[in-house]
Structure 1
Amino acid sequence: MILKTVRAGVIALAGASMLAFAAPAIAGDTTREGFVFPADGSMKIVVFRPDVSVGSQKAGGIVEPNADWTETARTNIKAKLIERAAALNASLEFVDELEGENAEVLTEYRALFEAVSASIFTHVTVGDSLATKQKLVYDPKLPGARPKKVNQLDWTLGPGTAKLREATGADYAMFVFTNDAYGDAGRKAAQAAGMLGCLIGVCVMVPSGIHVGYAGLVDLKTGDVVWFNTDLAMGGDPREVEGADKRVGQLLEGFPLRDGFGPAEKAK
């Protein structure tokens, strides 16, 4: 119940943001200040079952989940994540679920990460800054100039994530979330009608479809979120193999690879 409630809040936030920021699309990746992987590559990353949802958006905007689409998309996204694992130069282990008490712990931290992600999106990606999450940056080229306030990735899930470390033997955990809603015939008709209204000076913008996703990396020793990437206009149809490849490429943009390797988006 907690997970469903948080997910609904994230999707609602994304939908509202798409209306408020129709152009340009909101996207971006950020890394915790000072974070680097061990130089010798001695780290293990556990990738939990991607949280994927695909459905159809009705004329009134209500999204109806589609189990077959969702399962196909989840399978494709997981397969493409596995394909790209070698390019990340780390030991990645894909875990669908845990057992017993550990399963409950994972469910709790999935929900907590989604809640934290909504906060990161609001206060870092969108830029609704929090004074406690900013730092002053001085430009050495402009002595005497006022420092610039810069948002920081300064969120944590708390030290309780050590339970996931014990259960998996991993140093870091990657969480992946995507949500897609494809406009049905009624929704597309409403969108067309809204656009036609512009011809008589009464524009009613009716967005058709929702395509939002994020990926994040958590240090299981501390619970700190060390990397986060999101996009409110994800490309690629994850129901198709090629579309899932594009989607995973976007999700991993900016991933903090070990020294000697290029940006994740270039690692094919």
Structure 2
Amino acid sequence: MSIRKPLVSLAISITLVAAPLTVQAADTPHWVHYKWLLSNPSLPKKVMVLPANIEVVEVTAGGVEEKVPEWSQEAGRNVFKALSAAIKKQQNMREATAPKFSGTTAGNVDEHLALYKLVVNTASRNGGDSWRHKIRRFDYSIGPGLRAVADQTGADAAIMVYGRDVVSTTGRKARAIVGNIPIVNIFTGPAPELGHSYIHVGMVDLRTGDLLWMNSNYRTDSTNLRDPEDAAKMVNAIFEWYPGIESYRNAYAK
């Protein structure tokens, strides 16, 4: 599946309102492009991490969400640093410094980041036996629109990441405590869900636009992406499955 430039505006409109989805193949948490399942695949040696799009929202006792820009920026920086550290742990892979994109190039990168998220959400909604062939032959693409970035940086692939961190206010936490007390919750209602954290990471071939590899991590515990250690734990959990070729081949290419 190759989604080209005409869908970019659609991608932007959808991804601005769509909540991140947990992307997971049926028997493994990660996805691998079919060409990596061939003998002697060529893995990216130089990758570039694009700006992390992490949204942090605070939820009130009444369920009202409010985005907190300062927290979002802090979480984004932590995830970005965690990604750089994870890349250094990989054999035969090094990070290319992303330039400060401006003008038309910056707009093109933003459009492809939005398009990437749309393609990921499309892949995550495909389920059932009728779509199992897409898992066996995972061939999604965002098109070759970032080829100029490859020429500029010398990078083979781009790391694209987005995520969401939902934080409960003190009032919501108090309501959750009360809601778990027998009898009392008859009057207060059930305990509301507290926070959760989500990160999705994908690797895209800068010349072809092929989605080479992607994985995600979702937690409902007290994980806080504004904490560098928590961000690193989630990113490391994602990269535990990189490249994961054999496990993916064993699960699907039979």
TM-score range, shorter chain: 0.7 to 0.9
> How many residues are paired up?
230
The one-letter amino acid paired with 1:192 is I
Deviation of the 1:201 alpha carbon: 7.8
Q: Would the alpha carbon gap of residues 83 and 171 (structure 1) be closer, same or farther in structure 2, given more than 3 Å must change? A: same
What are the Cα deviations for residues 241-262 of structure 1, in whole angstroms up to 9, with x where unaligned? 2212212212323121799xxx
Mapped contact 2:201–2:215 kept (Cα < 8 A): yes
What's 1:239 paired with? 226
Counterpart Cα distance in 2 of 1:174 and 1:44: 10
What's 1:129 paired with? 128
Deviation of the 1:228 alpha carbon: 1.1
Q: Would the alpha carbon gap of residues 42 and 210 (structure 1) be closer, same or farther in structure 2, given more than 3 Å must change? A: closer
Aligned pair partner of 1:188 in 143, 160, 173? 173
Q: Would the alpha carbon gap of residues 39 and 200 (structure 1) be closer, same or farther in structure 2, given more than 3 Å must change? A: closer
SS at match of 2:141: coil
Q: Would the alpha carbon gap of residues 195 and 97 (structure 1) be closer, same or farther in structure 2, given more than 3 Å must change? A: farther
Structure 1: gaps of 5 or more residues: 18-25, 136-148, 260-268
SS at match of 2:231: helix
Counterpart Cα distance in 2 of 1:223 and 1:150: 18
Counterpart Cα distance in 1 of 2:44 and 2:139: 24
What's 1:103 paired with? 106
Deviation of the 1:213 alpha carbon: 1.4
What are the Cα deviations for residues 58-82 of structure 1, in whole angstroms up to 9, with x where unaligned? 1232321223322222222222222
SS at match of 1:211: strand
Mapped contact 1:52–1:178 kept (Cα < 8 A): yes
Mapped contact 2:178–2:191 kept (Cα < 8 A): no
SS at match of 2:112: helix
What's 1:141 paired with? none
Indicate the larger mover: 112-121 or 247-256.
247-256
What's 1:84 paired with? 86
Deviation of the 1:234 alpha carbon: 6.7
Mapped contact 1:219–1:226 kept (Cα < 8 A): yes
Asked if 1:165 corresponds to 2:167, the answer is no
The one-letter amino acid paired with 1:222 is T
Q: Would the alpha carbon gap of residues 243 and 57 (structure 1) be closer, same or farther in structure 2, given more than 3 Å must change? A: same
Indicate the larger mover: 209-218 or 105-114.
209-218
Mapped contact 1:162–1:220 kept (Cα < 8 A): yes
The one-letter amino acid paired with 2:57 is G
Structure 2: gaps of 5 or more residues: 1-8, 247-254
- Once the two structures are superposed, the pairs formed by residues 31-180 of structure 1 within 5 Å of their partners are 31-35=32-36, 43-89=45-91, 90-95=93-98, 97-123=100-126, 128-129=127-128, 131=130, 133-135=131-133, 152-180=137-165
Mapped contact 1:76–1:238 kept (Cα < 8 A): yes
SS at match of 1:250: helix
TM-score, length of structure 1 as denominator length: 0.71
Mapped contact 2:47–2:159 kept (Cα < 8 A): yes
Same amino acid, percent of matched pairs: 23
Q: Would the alpha carbon gap of residues 213 and 7 (structure 1) be closer, same or farther in structure 2, given more than 3 Å must change? A: farther
The one-letter amino acid paired with 2:211 is V
Mapped contact 1:179–1:213 kept (Cα < 8 A): yes
Mapped contact 2:78–2:225 kept (Cα < 8 A): yes
Mapped contact 1:46–1:94 kept (Cα < 8 A): yes
